[in-house]
Structure 1
Amino acid sequence: MNIARPLVSALILLASLASGGCASQPPLKTVDHLDLDRYLGRWYVIAHIPYWLEQGKVASYDSYARRPDGRLQNDFTFRRERLDAPEETWKGTARVVNTQSNAEWAVQFVWPFTASYLVIDLDPDYRWAVIGHPSRRLLWVLARERQLDEATYQAILRRAAAQGYQPDQVRKVPQPAD
């Protein structure tokens, strides 16, 4: 595999996100508290605001685990274009930036660049979560199961809109049926 293409792609993405959020909107509000032990594990990507690094990725999920050095392992697994394509994984790390809430992370897939990861909505039973970025150009709806019922999904989009997101930009990610 040629590492140069993903590296250049990640560098361009991170540079474009470094400009931060929109000055006309207040900062995103994260959840008050995230229990890291309950949050660890696998989260399926139900929907996102598409960007070029995730184009053509289907059946995608994130996995989070504690590392001995205190950071978190953050792996992104996906298939290209087809649900029956082989799985690929990008390995990353994350560190908690706000230790009072645990809801603000810095995620790194390519050193030395990091991206903000903000948990802005979370099911009380940790069945689904919504991840935002200060720029509001990125959003992910994650769930413990491959599918999320439509009423819950629509309620999530309404709350994201209240935080300044454009729901019409969010697209579902194809996942295999359970």
Structure 2
Amino acid sequence: MSMSKILLVTLGLMIASAAVHAADLPPIKPVAQVDLPRFMGKWYVIATIPTRFEKHAYNPVETYTLQADGNIYTQFHFRNGGFDKPVKAIHSTGFVKAESGNAVWGVQVFWPVKAQYIVAYLKDDYSQTIVARDARDYTWVMARTPTISQADYDALIARVVKLGYAAKDIRKPPQAWPAGGD
């Protein structure tokens, strides 16, 4: 079996098993509106329930670029297993769901699967966000800076738990950047 078929089967099984738990929970409510141009750019992953590809991510950063066709080119960069490891990248495309206020996307890492992506929280100044999924299998707490205050971190994690995620599953990926974040 080819690697892409193995990845598709694995992803399907993970989604199916997570759906059993999430079936008892209401759908996650997205934010009312996302100003896409303002949302674009670099987001540091502050906390996550990671996919299998990012379980050992150091310095994880998601960068969004709005394309002319309205889709979003995403680049996820990280070091797998340590700060001294080579930078890895995962590229995908976000397809904004019509009439969602730009807050619900289908993200496609590989065809034909589009994973649900819900902007469940967005700070008014676009400095912090929570991306969630109805399946409650993965979540990402992100900020425009590689670190945030403990009070902000605690408040964001409390929001994630209120969405129906288990606090014990949340991982704080290591972030260590030189001054200026790069």
Q: TM-score, normalised by structure 2?
A: 0.87
Q: Which residue pairs with 2:28 in the alignment?
A: 28
Moved more, 83-92 or 16-25: 16-25
Structure 2: distance between partners of 1:53 and 1:62? 14
Contact 2:54 2:80 in 1 (8 A): no
Query: Helix, strand or coil: the match of 1:131?
Result: strand
Equivalent residue number for residue 160 of structure 1: 160
Point out the more displaced range, 20-29 or 102-111.
20-29
The one-letter code sitting in structure 2 at the alignment partner of 1:73 is: Y
- Give the Cα separation in 1 of the matches to 2:26 and 2:73: 30
Q: Which runs of 5+ in 1 are unaligned?
A: none
- Does residue 64 of the first structure (1) align with residue 79 of the second (2)? no
By how many angstroms is 1:14 displaced? 4.3
Matched residue type, 1:149: S
TM-score by length of 1: 0.89
Q: Residues 103 and 14 from structure 1, CA distance in 2 versus in 1: closer, same or farther, beyond 3 angstroms?
A: farther
Shift in CA distance, 73/15, structure 1 to aligned 2, threshold 3 Å: farther
Q: Is the 8 A contact 1:17 1:115 kept in 2?
A: no
- Counterpart of 1:16 in structure 2 is 14
Aligned amino acid, residue 147 of structure 2? Q
3-state secondary structure, aligned to 2:27: coil
Any unmatched runs of 5+ in structure 2? none
Between 160-169 and 14-23, the greater mean CA deviation after superposition: 14-23
Any idea what SS the aligned residue of 1:110 has? Answer: coil
> 2:31 and 2:16 mapped to 1: Cα distance?
23
Q: Distance in 1 between matches of 2:128 and 2:50?
A: 19
Matches within 5 A, 1:56-95: 56-95=56-95
* Separation in structure 2 between the aligned mates of residue 10 and residue 46 of structure 1, nearest angstrom: 27
* Cα distance change on mapping 1:35 and 1:80 into 2, 3 Å: same
Query: Aligned pair 1:42/2:42, yes or no?
Result: yes
Query: In angstroms, what is the RMSD of aligned CA positions?
Result: 1.9
Per-residue deviation at 1:164? Answer: 1.3
Shift of 1:7: 6.3
Cα distance in 1 for partners of 2:149, 2:8 equals 32
Q: CA 1:14/1:131 → structure 2, altered by over 3 Å: closer, same or farther?
A: farther
Q: 1:6 to 1:77 in 2, by over 3 A?
A: farther
Q: Is the 8 A contact 1:7 1:110 kept in 2?
A: no
The CA deviation at 1:15 is: 4.5
